[in-house]
Amino acid sequence: MAGQSFGPRPAPGKPEEDGRAACAACGKLLTSDEIGATRKFLGPRRTKFLCLSCLSAELGADPEKLREKIEDYRRMGCVYFSPGPPEERE
Amino acid sequence: MLIKTPPMGWNSWNTFGENINEDMIRETADAMVSTGLKDAGYEYLVIDDCWSEHGRDKDGRLVADHVKFPHGMKAVADYVHEKGLKFGMYSCAGTLTCARYPGSYEHEFIDAETFASWGVDYLKYDYCYHSPIVPGPYLYRRMGLALENCGRDILFSACSWGSDETHEWIKTTGADIWRSTGDIFDSWKSIRDLTQQQEKLHPFNGAGCFNDMDMLVTGMYGKGNVGIAGCDDVQYRTHFALWCFMQSPLMIGCDVRNMSDATKETLMNPGLISLDQDPAVRQPFRIAKWDGGYVDKVLVYARHLAHGELAVGLFNMDSEKARAQFNMDELALPESTGKTIEMHNVFSGETIMPQNGAVGRVLEPYACEVYRCRIVDL
């Protein structure tokens, strides 16, 4: 079960658009969950991230299944997914 | 040295995650015996994260979750031992485990003593929530010393996912195996990625500290904690064959109480297990890496085995039928040596010989062929 060391968590609240990373495949601006999901499912050392749709395609998985997994891992305390309420995670 | 070949067993994480309890663990122990897994060599039953209370007791000791394990861990360990199996548990080098239960940071010696008092034989030691100012080698050495001084032989399974150049320092820590990859998920993409990640780390594998490519997903079919896409039986068989060929620990991740016949057949393939457990513990080497065609779509590996034998594995990693081939001089056996190989297929039992100094086989999508080879006169 991989995670990462202590460090700053993604700030709650919607970040400024120009400060957000973009999907390496389609260019969509990414949420902190999508960055976390890329690290979780494709490896902690990833520096290029994918949106949920492109990540699902890459993994051959249903996007809904990945959403479900993200919530499961968040509940279990995974450091890749910030624990705040949904409206604070975009 | 506690082990001479990679450990084999079962771990709760891949399927069950936090949904663990003593009834399930006892049933799993029963199934490991009744299905024949134990006789095939799977001896460790390991409980992963989420087994403890969220706080330590007044003496600073870890405490098993009273709801999940009402009779305590010693009782669980005793049951597992009565089945002729060994018992493994989990902790973390950080202040918290990955699921935010108490970690062993600055509790290494007291935790090792606790594990020993419960009869633990194996400790998986994760790397979440570790201090950014205390280096990983220091953390793993401290637990290594704690385990070696706890009064019981406990296999030390380091799990820092290859972070912080783990391969450069892990053999200084007393670890018996080390996680050389990121986490596995139940998808072909994950299996393929981990196989590629492993390639540059083959030189670090061997007796004394085995490279751990993570637990197996064979037989999960997209269900459970790390189930995201699932694989078919051909992909699971190739996954298992790759892990055996690389001499990774073989820790089953599916629910062994409900295995399909195909899953049993794969996980208990004696030919593959004998490659994983080969006592010579030699490094695999990649051959036939074409640059005009398949490079990473078809993998051809070889490995020297004990008693002068060779293993050869042909792996189609792609979704299209492909031809795998190699020349005998790539195995250091050109015609001038007067020798060739007799190739025994570990799945079909078929024996084949190279033709005109080469071997070529057509592989179905995601399929593999693995051979144990004997050197014979031309």
Has B261 been annotated as catalytic?
no
In chain B, what percentage of residues exceed pLDDT 90? 93
Residue B235 has pLDDT above 80, yes or no: yes
Per-residue confidence (pLDDT) for residue A12, from 0 to 100: 37
Q: Which domain holds residue B302?
A: 285-377
Among the listed residues B278, B283, B186, the one whose alpha carbon sits nearest the alpha carbon of residue B239: B186
Residues B85 and B52 in one domain: yes
Q: Render pLDDT for B43-70 as a digit per residue (tens, 0 to 9).
A: 999 999 999 999 999 999 999 999 999 9
As for how many domains chain A has, the answer is 1
Question: Chain B contacts of A66, Cβ < 8 Å?
Answer: 228
Q: Is residue A14 part of a domain?
A: no
Q: Is residue B250 part of a domain?
A: yes
How confident is the model over B208-219, as a mean pLDDT? Answer: 97
Nearest by CB to residue A1, choosing from B98, B131, B190, is B98
Is the separation of the CB atoms in B345 and B370 below 8 Å? Answer: yes
How confident is the model over B127-149, as a mean pLDDT? Answer: 96
How confident is the model over A67-86, as a mean pLDDT? Answer: 85
Q: Is residue A90 part of a domain?
A: no
Q: Which of B276, B301, B328 is the last residue of a domain?
A: B276
Is the separation of the CB atoms in B92 and B118 below 8 Å? Answer: no
State how far the alpha carbon of B376 is from the alpha carbons of B341, B349, B356, in Å: 6, 18, 15
Per-residue confidence (pLDDT) for residue B294, from 0 to 100: 61
Q: Is residue A58 part of a domain?
A: yes
Q: Render pLDDT for B97-127 as a digit per residue (tens, 0 to 9).
A: 999 999 999 999 999 999 999 999 999 999 9
Residues B216 and B336 in one domain: no
How confident is the model over B273-282, as a mean pLDDT? Answer: 97
Confidence of residue A2 (pLDDT cuts 50, 70, 90): low
Q: The domain that contains B368 carries what CATH number? A: 2.60.40.1180
Burial of B16 (0-12, 13-18, 19+ CB in 10 A): buried
- Residue B350: count other Cβ atoms within 10 Å of its Cβ: 11
Is residue B204 within 8 angstroms of chain A, CB to CB?
no
Q: Is residue B3 part of a domain?
A: no
Residues B46 and B100 in one domain: yes
Question: Chain B contacts of A79, Cβ < 8 Å?
Answer: 98, 128-129
Nearest by CB to residue A1, choosing from B126, B132, B189, is B126
Q: What is the DSSP string of B137-171?
A: HHHHHHHHHHHHTSSS--EEEE--TTGGGHHHHGG
Q: Which of B226, B248, B276 is the last residue of a domain?
A: B276
Is residue B334 within 8 angstroms of chain A, CB to CB?
no
Is residue B217 within 8 angstroms of chain A, CB to CB?
no
Nearest by CB to residue A41, choosing from B96, B132, B185, is B185
CA distance A30 to chain B (A): 21
Query: A42, B182: Cβ pair inside 8 Å?
Result: yes
Q: Render pLDDT for A11-42 as a digit per residue (tens, 0 to 9).
A: 433 444 557 899 999 999 999 999 999 999 99
CA distance B124 to chain A (A): 10
Q: Is residue A43 part of a domain?
A: yes
Q: Is residue B86 part of a domain?
A: yes
**Averaged confidence pLDDT in chain B:** 96
Residue B291 has pLDDT above 60, yes or no: no
CA B86 – CA B92 distance, rounded (Å): 20
In chain B, what percentage of residues exceed pLDDT 70? 98
Is the separation of the CB atoms in B210 and B249 below 8 Å? Answer: yes
Query: B189, A1: Cβ pair inside 8 Å?
Result: no
Confidence of residue A82 (pLDDT cuts 50, 70, 90): confident
Is residue B102 within 8 angstroms of chain A, CB to CB?
no
Is the separation of the CB atoms in B184 and B191 below 8 Å? Answer: yes
Q: Which domain holds residue A74?
A: 22-81
Q: The domain that contains B24 carries what CATH number? A: 3.20.20.70
How confident is the model over B166-179, as a mean pLDDT? Answer: 96
CA A32 – CA A87 distance, rounded (Å): 12
Q: Is residue B154 part of a domain?
A: yes
CB within 8 Å of chain B, chain A residues 30-49 = 40-45
Q: Is residue A60 part of a domain?
A: yes
pTM: 0.93
- Residue A78: count other Cβ atoms within 10 Å of its Cβ: 23
Residues B77 and B184 in one domain: yes
Q: Is residue A70 part of a domain?
A: yes
B123 phi and psi angles, rounded to 5 deg: -130, 115
- Residue B243: count other Cβ atoms within 10 Å of its Cβ: 27
Is residue A8 within 8 angstroms of chain B, CB to CB?
no
Residue B292 has pLDDT above 70, yes or no: no
CA distance B162 to chain A (A): 10
Complex ipTM > 0.90: no
* The two three-digit tokens of residue B80, written as one number: 């597992």
> Could you give the residue ranges of the DSSP H alpha helices within chain B?
13-16, 22-34, 37-40, 72-82, 108-118, 136-148, 166-169, 188-199, 233-245, 261-267, 270-276
Residues B80 and B61 in one domain: yes
Question: Chain B contacts of A40, Cβ < 8 Å?
Answer: 183
Residue A86 has pLDDT above 70, yes or no: no
User: CA of A74: which chain B residue's CA is closest?
Assistant: B99
Q: Is residue B32 part of a domain?
A: yes
Q: Is residue A30 part of a domain?
A: yes
Residues B272 and B329 in one domain: no
- Residue B52: count other Cβ atoms within 10 Å of its Cβ: 22
Is the separation of the CB atoms in B250 and B242 below 8 Å? Answer: no
As for how many domains chain B has, the answer is 2
Q: Is residue B2 part of a domain?
A: no
Query: A65, B183: Cβ pair inside 8 Å?
Result: no
Where do we find the tokens 């070889």?
Answer: B302
Q: Render pLDDT for B303-357 as a digit per residue (tens, 0 to 9).
A: 999 999 999 999 999 999 999 999 999 999 999 999 999 999 999 999 999 999 9
CA distance A6 to chain B (A): 5
Confidence of residue B92 (pLDDT cuts 50, 70, 90): very high
Residue A87 has pLDDT above 80, yes or no: no
Enter the DSSP assignment of B283: P
Has B183 been annotated as catalytic?
yes
